[in-house]
């Protein structure tokens, strides 16, 4: 069954989500960097947007995004901060392997877009080009994101496409 906005519920990330967040986040490496559950809860606590998606009460995905002025030193967040005054930066979005292809990512992004309307001019993110993540590039392009820059991170171990979507 494909979830819809009617069956998937979104709520704020909470401390009791730490173990699930850690397991799913770290299963998604190298598309996101590995973090402990407590570090993810701390990260979410600093974010402007921090939602977990539940399908039949079970967590299936999450999205964390930062507004300008956050005390966050991610190389990619810093890149956007140096170029835009008005944005929400998607730091990470993870959908559990068992829930992929069921529209969870799209539901999280639509909720983020709705949250951002009237608050910001654009949504930004990065997608790995090295190691390649072509599915994520296609997903973001379908949602109207375009590549606005590129940079190497982790001493050249990764390269990313920096993307933005104007609202």
Give pLDDT tens digits for 69-128. Answer: 999 989 999 999 999 999 999 999 999 999 999 999 999 999 999 999 999 999 999 999
pLDDT score, position 154 = 85
pLDDT score, position 5 = 46
Q: Containing H/E element for 31? A: none
C-alpha triplet 12, 28, 53: angle, nearest 5°: 25
Number of domains in the chain: 1
Task: Give me the residues paired with residue 128 across strands.
Answer: 160
pLDDT greater at residue 7 or residue 65: 65
- Domain membership of residue 58 (yes or no) is yes
C-alpha 45 chain-centroid distance: 15
Task: Give me the residues paired with residue 117 across strands.
Answer: none
Q: Name the pTM for this structure.
A: 0.93
How many whole angstroms separate alpha carbon 101 and alpha carbon 21?
19
How many whole angstroms separate alpha carbon 98 and alpha carbon 6?
19
Tell me the pLDDT tens digit for each residue of 122-157.
999 999 999 999 999 999 999 999 999 999 988 888
Domain that holds residue 144: 8-166
Q: List the CATH number of the domain containing 73.
A: 3.40.630.30
Question: How high is the mean pLDDT of the chain?
Answer: 94
- Domain membership of residue 1 (yes or no) is no
Tell me the pLDDT tens digit for each residue of 6-26.
589 999 999 999 999 999 999
- Domain membership of residue 121 (yes or no) is yes
- Domain membership of residue 3 (yes or no) is no
């Amino acid at each position: 069954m494909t979830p819809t906005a009617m069956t998937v519920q979104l709520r704020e990330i909470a401390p009791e989500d730490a173990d699930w967040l850690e397991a799913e986040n770290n299963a998604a490496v190298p598309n996101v960097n590995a973090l402990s559950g407590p570090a993810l809860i701390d990260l979410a606590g600093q974010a402007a947007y921090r939602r977990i998606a539940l399908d039949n009460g079970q967590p299936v995905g999450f999205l964390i995004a930062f507004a300008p002025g956050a005390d966050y030193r991610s190389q990619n967040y810093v890149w956007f901060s140096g170029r835009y005054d008005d944005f929400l930066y998607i730091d990470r979005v993870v959908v559990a392997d068992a829930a992929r292809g069921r529209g969870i990512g799209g539901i999280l992004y639509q909720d983020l877009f709705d949250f951002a309307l009237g608050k910001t001019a654009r949504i930004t993110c990065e997608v790995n080009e090295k190691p390649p993540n072509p599915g994520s590039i296609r997903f973001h392009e379908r949602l109207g994101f375009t590549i606005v820059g590129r940079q190497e991170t982790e001493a050249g171990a990764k390269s990313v496409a920096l993307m933005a979507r104007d609202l």
